[in-house]
Amino acid sequence: MSFERVCSTDEVGDDQAHAAVVGGLELAVARDGDEFFAVQDQCTHAAIPLSEGEVVDCAIECWLHGSAFDLRTGKPTVLPATEPVATFPVEVRDGDVYVDTTRTLNGVTPS
Ligand code: FES
C-alpha cells in the first residue's frame, strides 16, 4: 500500500468534491459527513470531471447528463452512465486525507 496525502479534510466540501492529481491519476475526493471517498475524476459516460458536479446522498453527480455514482461502490445509480468509476482506498490522519492510487477498491481499472 502506498497512501499519499491529497488534501486536508477542510478542503473537501459537503456538496463539492476536491479535485487532485495523485500518482498521475485525476481524483475526486468527496465526503459524506465524516466519511471520505476517492474516485477517478472522470465520468464513465464521457470524459467529464466528476469533481465539477455535486455530491448528494453519498453519490457524486455528473453535471453534463445527470449520471450519479455511489461513492462507496463507484456504481452508477442514475443513467445514462452504465459502467462504474474506479474507487480508491482512503485514510484520514490528523485532519488530512490520504489516498492509495496503486489499487482500486472495486476492481475497476482506471482509464
Ligand atoms: S458525461 Fe457524465 S453523464 Fe454524460
Q: Give dist(CA 67, CA 105) in Å, integer.
A: 21
User: Measuring from each residue's beta carbon to the nearest atom of ligand 1, which residues come in under 6 Å?
Assistant: 43, 45-46, 48, 62, 64-65, 67, 80-81
pLDDT score for 23: 86
Q: Mutation test of ligand 1: which of 48, 50, 52, 78 has the most ligand atoms closer than 8 Å to its C-beta?
A: 48
Rounded to the nearest angstrom, the distance between the alpha carbon of 18 and the centre of ligand 1 is: 19
- pTM, two decimals, is 0.96
State the closest ligand 1 atom to the C-alpha of 62, by its place in the atom list counted from 1: 2
Cell of 49: 470531471
pLDDT by residue, tens only, the chain of 111 residues: 599 999 999 999 999 999 999 989 999 999 999 999 999 999 999 989 999 999 999 999 999 999 999 999 999 999 999 999 999 999 999 999 999 999 999 999 998
Q: Cα dihedral angle (21, 23, 26, 30), rounded to 10 degrees?
A: -80
DSSP 11-62: GS-SSBPEEEEETTEEEEEEEETTEEEEEESS-SSSS--GGGSBEETTEEE-
Domains of the chain and any CATH numbers: 3-100 (2.102.10.10)
pLDDT score for 20: 97
pLDDT score for 1: 59
